[in-house]
Amino acid sequence: MSQPFVTRPTSTGPGRVIRRFRVVVTAGPAQGRTWAEAAERCALGSHPSSDLVLDDPTVSRFHCELTIAGDRLRLRDLGSRNGTWVGGATIGEGTIGGGTTLVLGQSQVRIDVDAAQAQLDASDREAFGSLVGASPRMRELFHQLEKIAASDATVLVEGETGTGKEGVAESLHEASARARTGKFVVIDCGAIPANLLESELFGHEVGAFTGATTRRIGAFEDASGGTLFLDEIGELPMELQPKLLRALEAREIRRVGGRDTIACDLRIVAATNRDLRSEVNRGTFRPDLYYRLAVVRVELPPLRARTGDLPLLVAHLLDRLGASAEARATLTEPAFLAELAAAPWPGNVRQLRNHLEQCVVFGERLRPTEQVPPHPAGAVDASLPYEIARKQAIEVFEAAYVAALVERCDGNVAQAARAAGVNRAYLHRLLRRHGLR
């Protein structure tokens, strides 16, 4: 359901202060090129969307990424073909200091950490649409979203499961002029079977395939004038990626089985919990499609990185859940909030919401590791009717199983579905049911 756009100005102060750093190409085809922005992150690669572009055929499209952390930097290789080398050894992920030289293919770059500092821009609000937070990370995000909402650029929202990617997309729509001219339409690319997804996106004509007895309007036409949100874009089958690319470039579509092209005036927001740059390097995602989608990138922080927002977030979620005054008082006590802050929350805000809903339903302050009121191991609550007890047992099993399954498959839902022997769309439904996606 669409939520009203909310603006709540605060006086919580500016954004984070970070050390500035520079990346200088010291050898290779791009020798002399320098990156020195007032930003906390720099991605290096041969793809045009990289922050520092290295015109070197031995450098991967998305080779590695640097993030400032204090006076040092976190280095992460993005699945590059030739690896990221430091001092004669490859590094997948690690911490480096200023003065370090990286070897990327036939290129070399030097990292310099400056004494100068930069202050990141931040909004003065504690909410943007349905998103809530007063921490520096969230106010920096709100500042970015304020600027994006005023444009019509295509946006790629990245973040872990449950961080609120759909909330970002809908809030951008509600804050833009398109909220007055069109709808917010959602397509979950991971939950729709591959053989039906093309029709869902572009529609079909009568007789386009067996069972197509009526004309169908697809999401692109339905969202014309408004915003189309493509969730789980990393799950889009390779055979559909060129068709989506053409629709993004031409802003027109052709229904399945149709001959005429249909113009579509809409904004595209896509979301993923994968690093699509690594998918491009692996050959499972088209680089030209990534380029079209990542005109603007928005990265959502996980809940564990903004635990200072928990008091505000819990109050907001309890309000959305319609909790009683007694429940609100109990579930916002400092001791309980401290327990919440200490939990890892792999499912992030969605998992927190589900947990608070269980607390409200059962009338207890459940610890974050508990999904239902505790019983001795292997015991059941015989005071419940059989069907209710059976349903609870199944839900506990499902939640534990799918969480372990997806973790074992490094978050790759398609791989997890194959390993479990179930349909990918069914696994998506299980993940959503238990607040894990």
The full set of domain ranges for the chain reads 17-119, 151-299, 304-374, 378-437
Domain 17-119, architecture per CATH:
Sandwich (2.60)
Which CATH number among 3.40.50.300, 3.40.50.12280, 3.10.180.10, 3.40.1350.10 corresponds to the domain 151-299? 3.40.50.300
The pair of three-digit structure tokens given for residue 355, joined into one six-digit string: 């947990």
Residue 382 has a pLDDT of: 65
Reduced DSSP (H G I as helix, E B as strand, rest coil) percent helix, strand, coil of the chain, to 5: 35, 20, 40
Average pLDDT per consecutive 10 residues, the chain (437 residues; last block may be shorter)? 40 75 98 95 96 97 96 96 96 96 98 92 94 95 96 96 95 96 95 89 86 88 97 94 96 92 96 95 95 96 95 96 94 96 92 92 81 47 64 75 81 81 79 74
Residue 434 has a pLDDT of: 75
CA distance 394 to 400: 10
Which CATH number among 1.10.8, 1.10.260, 3.10.20, 3.40.50 corresponds to the domain 304-374? 1.10.8
Residue 5 has a pLDDT of: 40
CATH code that applies to domain 378-437: 1.10.10
SS3 at position 298 = strand
Q: Is the pTM of this model over 0.85?
A: no
CA distance 401 to 431: 10
Residue 7 has a pLDDT of: 40
Question: Which is it for the CA torsion 51, 55, 60, 64, positive or negative?
Answer: negative
The answer to whether 274 and 161 are in contact (CB under 8 A) is no
The answer to whether 276 and 290 are in contact (CB under 8 A) is yes
Tokens 């793809």, residue?
A: 47
Closest CA to 46 of 33, 62, 34: 62
Residue 195 exposed, middle or buried by CB count within 10 Å (0-12, 13-18, 19+): exposed
Phi, psi for residue 114 in degrees, rounded to 5: -85, 160
The pair of three-digit structure tokens given for residue 189, joined into one six-digit string: 């690319």
CA distance 234 to 221: 22
Per DSSP bridges, beta strands 93-96 and 72-77 are antiparallel
